[in-house]
Amino acid sequence: MSSPDTPVSGAPPTGAEERDKRRRWWRPELVLALVVLGLGVLVIVGTLDVSAAASQLGIGPRFFPMLVGGSMVVVGVFYVADVLRGGRGDPEESEDVDVDAPADWRSVGLVSGIFLAFTAVLNVVGWIIGSALLFFGLSVVLGAQHKARAAVVGVVLGVLTYLVFVKGLGVTLPAGPLQGVI
Amino acid sequence: MESFQLLLDGFAAALTPVNLLYALIGVTLGTLVGVLPGIGPAMTVALLLPITFTVPPASAFIMFAGIYYGGMYGGSTTSILLNTPGESASMITALEGNKMARRGRAAQALATAAIGSFVAGTIATALLVVAAPAVVSFAISFGPEDYFALAVLAFVGVSAVLSRSLVRGLASLGLGLVIGLVGIDQQTGQARLTMGVPQLLDGIDVVIVAVGLFALGEALYVASRLRHSIPEVVPVGRAWMGRSDWGRSWRPWLRGTALGFPFGALPGGGAEIPTFLSYATEKKLARGATREEYGKGAIEGVAGPEAANNASAAGTLVPLLTLGLPTSATAAILLAAFQQYGLQPGPQLFDHNPALVWAMIASLFIGNTMLLVLNLPLAPLWARVLRIPRPYLYAGIIVFAALGVYALNATVVDLLVLFVLGLLGFAMRRFGLPIAPAVIGMILGPMAEIQLRRALAIGAGDITVLVKSPIAAVLLLLAFGALLTPLVRKLAERRQLAPTHIHEE
């Protein structure tokens, strides 16, 4: 609410302060906390549909979901409150993760997009072509330096997994247009 | 000495060529996924669940046990040779191990880790042989209310200990419990939380949940924050160590084993706390020149925690096999594997399937020996595995995740569920929700419900039946205590903040 020309001493410029204030209650983590809370409500509402068998001795199929849903709502409320009060979880550490780096949303979006595209075309193009494309696309998005090598690895991986899992272990994978060729 | 005879029978079963081959596949795969960042034993076992359905149960569990132990060995290689902080259980090893490696003592660090893991794994597995029948004879009298209380203790223990924030641990647990609820109620046949989608009537398969939360979630998380620098791997030859290293290592190994085994057996104990305690103990016991070495690469700081790490893995198997109680994510997946074969771990398992249980335990001894052979001379090979370019690694992980999930039912719907769970896993990592409580909640939740309903049915609806048994009452009290630990820890931290800082310096 501070006007741009309010004099500030020793504090960051007002624009940053404004953003800071907004950030204080708005955090991406709030979405996850609200999902937890919302799921709790959803479980309770969804369980109301379940008709309890009256002949059951003890408790029916509604008791435990209600317990879980109720607990989720309580935990969710605490979680939301914690996020609003400025609490934050420590991002998980892992060998390949730079915890201090800003999130690269472009990569996440592209990885997601490629995966969803793969699920859309898998049954049409078959496992070998589909998985080769999936591997190639993902490795390029994640920063593979030699595109040709990524493509070769992808094709080899697709053919090998198909041979091992379909011919060797009897797993069902779509053959696609290569049916009969391999 | 009845169990000794059974163990010998177990060795006879595990030493057949086919089962030796499965053990070898298991330990090799386990070491591989342990070395590679981004995948672990839990996800590997989950991915193999649908594929091993045609394999006899004894062979499958021999392989799974190999993967479990192998993952522990592999993790130490990564934390010693790779110059970046890793996950919490191996971070302690990295403290001194990586410093040793950079001082040119990588071979000795790897050797003390591998031999220490072997010593700890062997002793702890022997302890398992002794402890399991004792726990079984005690647990044979457990009623449903006791099992329910045990499950509650495991839920609360895992949620409270694994996260610095209790509310985040419990939120993760809740997410898992909700996932476990979806599908047809086993007792009445009622559909619950399926939102009218027929594919959800059978529930969400544990493979999809595990692969989504672990593999796809991890890959998305890494994509968001990938270190773009090329991983720096310390070069190493064959792992070996000299006489003075042996002299400095054997006591930490034994102390680490003594810490790791009991903590592994406790709900929520896990590997993090004993490895940390072992490190702190060794540091405190160090005298003279050794003390000066801490922070620059003291071999005791690798030997102790690595032994604790492996001993805790064996400890985890005690409650899993004797009570059906998983205390880690990998144990939860193993429990799901038992269920896939229509087996229920617990006292009855030792009664009805002694051959299977003891073959699996015998294979732990065998696998441990294989791992020692595999890890000492082949250290340079595993070091090379670490250099796999990360784009290929994570692209490959996603390809195998898709393969494993599609192989379940050959439907694309499963892949979409996998993607949604992957997003959930990504969000959980980003905001510091531990994954293990969700996995344990999903797998143990339905069993907790059955026991709860059984107990209340016996009590004819009287809720006090849950605390009438002294065992159940004690367990629930412990669970309540575990709920308070983060609070106590916070208070203690606040009080000790100033003194410890001085102490550290």
For residue A9, name the pLDDT band (cuts at 50, 70, 90).
very low
Report pLDDT for A74. 96
Q: Is the pLDDT of residue B504 over 50?
A: no
Residue B152 has pLDDT above 50, yes or no: yes
pLDDT in tens, A170-181: 888 998 888 777
pLDDT tens for each residue of B375-426: 899 999 999 998 899 999 999 999 999 999 998 888 899 999 999 999 999 9
Who wins on pLDDT, B128 or B498? Answer: B128
Query: What pLDDT band is residue A8 in, cutting at 50, 70 and 90?
Result: very low
Residue B348 Cα, gap to closest chain A Cα (Å): 25
pLDDT at B401: 94
Q: What percent of chain A has pLDDT over 90?
A: 51
User: What share of chain B has pLDDT > 90, as a percent?
Assistant: 61
Q: Do A39 and B407 touch (CB under 8 A)?
A: no
User: Taking the CA of residue A102 as centre, how many other CA atoms within 13 Å lie in the half-sphere pointing to its CB?
Assistant: 2
Q: Which residue of B has its CA nearest to A69?
A: B178
Angstroms from B193 CA to nearest CA on chain A: 6
Cβ distance A119 to B428 less than 8 Å, yes or no, reads no
Contact: A111, B223; criterion CB under 8 Å: yes
Average pLDDT value over all residues in chain A: 83
Is B331 within 8 Å of B268 (Cβ atoms)? Answer: no
What is the sign of the dihedral through the CA atoms of A153, A155, A158 and A159? negative
**CA nearest to A32, candidates B390, B432, B301:** B432
Tell me the average pLDDT of chain B: 89
| Closest residue to B167, CB basis, from A50, A75, A122 | A75
- Tell which wins on pLDDT, B354 or A101: B354
What is the pLDDT, as a whole number, of residue B266?
A: 87
- Give the range among A31-45, A47-61, B13-27, B164-178 with minimum mean pLDDT: A47-61
Inter-residue contact B212 to B437 (CB < 8 Å): no
Residue B72, pLDDT > 80, answer yes
Of A39, A96, A99, the CB nearest to B38: A96
Which residues in chain B have Cβ-Cβ distances shorter than 8 Å to A75? 167, 170-171, 174
Closest residue to A61, CB basis, from B192, B219, B403: B192
Which range is least confidently modeled, A1-10, B231-240, B401-410, B484-493?
A1-10
Chain A's closest residue to B87, CA to CA, is: A94
Optimal mutation site among B29, B207, B216, B222, interface A, most CBs of chain A within 10 A: B222
Cα separation values, A17 from A2, A11, A14, B224, B366, Å: 9, 8, 5, 27, 63
pLDDT at A97: 84
CB contact under 8 A, A36 and B392: no
Q: What is the CA radius of gyration of chain A?
A: 26
Residue B497: pLDDT band by 50, 70, 90 thresholds? low
DSSP state letters, B49-87: TTGGGGS-HHHHHHHHHHHHHHHHHHHHHHHHHBSS---
Amino acid identity for residue B430 in this structure: R
What are the φ and ψ backbone dihedral angles of B184, each rounded to 5 degrees? -80, 130
Q: Which of B87, B395, B427 sits opposite A139 (nearest CB)?
A: B395
Instruction: Give the distance from residue B379's alpha carbon to the nearest chain A alpha carbon, in angstroms.
Output: 19
**Tally of domains in chain B:** 1
Question: Longest Cα pair distance anywhere in chain B, in angstroms?
Answer: 70
Residue A128 confidence (pLDDT): 95
Residues of chain B with C-beta less than 8 angstroms from the C-beta of A118:
402, 415
> Which is higher by pLDDT, B47 or A139?
A139
- Residue A30 CB burial class (10 angstroms; 0-12, 13-18, ≥19): middle
Considering only CB atoms, B228 lies closest to which of A127, A143, A161, namely A143
Cα distance from B86 to chain A (closest Cα, Å)?
4
Total CB pairs under 8 A between chain A and B:
263
State how far residue A1 is from chain B, nearest Cα, in angstroms: 30
pLDDT at B491: 80
Residue with the larger pLDDT of the pair B494 and B476: B476
Q: Give B82-119 pLDDT, tens digit per residue.
A: 877 666 667 888 889 999 999 999 999 999 999 999 99
**Confidence grade of residue A11 (pLDDT, cut at 50, 70, 90):** very low
A interface test, pick of B43, B48, B83, B168 with most A CB neighbours within 10 Å: B168
Q: Lowest mean pLDDT of B201-205, B242-246, B491-495, name the range.
A: B491-495
Give the other-Cβ count within 10 Å of B296's Cβ. Answer: 11
- Mind telling me how many Å the CA of B2 is from chain A's nearest CA? 39
Quote the domain boundaries for residue B129.
2-504
pLDDT at B70 over 80: yes
Nearest by Cα to B95 from B363, B257, B298:
B298
State which residue of chain A sits closest to B190, comparing Cα positions: A50
* Nearest-CB residue to B174 (from A68, A115, A150): A68
pLDDT digits (tens, 9 = 90+) for B187-230: 788 888 888 788 888 889 999 999 999 999 999 999 998 877 77
* pLDDT single digits (tens) A50-96: 776 554 556 778 889 999 999 999 999 999 999 998 888 888 888 88
Residue A182 has a pLDDT of 67
Q: Residue B422: closest CA among chain A residues belongs to which residue?
A: A112
- The pLDDT tens digits of the residues spanning B125-149 come to 999 999 999 999 999 889 999 999 9
CB B29 within 8 A of CB B60: no
pLDDT digits (tens, 9 = 90+) for B29-54: 999 999 998 888 888 998 888 877 78
Which of A156-160, B259-263, B452-456 is the least confident region?
B452-456
Out of B187, B191, B396, name the one closest to residue A157 (CB). Answer: B396
Q: Does position B503 have pLDDT exceeding 50, yes or no? A: no
